[in-house]
Structure 1
């Protein structure tokens, strides 16, 4: 029974893997558009919660939410257009580094001042990636 289940699961995984390899560019772009839209929603939601009173810990929590969306979107966007993903990934790296390096004792105003530009650059990179597709 276990061997049969393992065989079925392996065959299913191979079928899914092979079907992903055979995707057309249009299918890849459709998946990328969906991922870009999900990332836009996350960035908008996170951005609406961050303000002049947001603490360093709140910025770090926001980074975690963005990281989940970035990880979810990465493969789908990169598969359709690697250059578009590279720009988003670079902006993400800069934002993540900025959040990591902000002093934990910074006032909310100081934290916002040091992070808001990197967050805006991440949003802009996402927008530019979206413009490269026919979403």
Structure 2
């Protein structure tokens, strides 16, 4: 099984940015832990702060992976384009969020991705990614 993790804007700052919300560990360090734990799965990871690049990563994954774990971060709430890209591909997408977006500002309650996602996991910190992987097994 091949899974692609796609992270959106500012997630490159995990471990530094608002640790009270996002924790103190970088995603790169956490990703190494996932690779060890799920060594029987081919995991790859990409992060971009640029909306168009995220759309391209989603489209490209459709022919190369069995599924996507997508944390579009702030673009979740603003990007019709990312939502359309998820709706246009054949492979399943699990939408993840580190924080409970429903416990935050009201604008974060809207997702342009959820409608097309196989499922949504939020509020479990970095463990949200682990739960998403488990959903594919």
TM-score normalised to the size of structure 1?
0.28
Considering fraction of residues, name the structure with more helix. Answer: 1
Q: Greater Rg, structure 1 or structure 2?
A: 1
Considering fraction of residues, name the structure with more strand. Answer: 2
- Select the structure with the greater relative contact order (CA < 8 A; seq sep ≥ 6): 1
TM-score normalised to the size of structure 2?
0.28
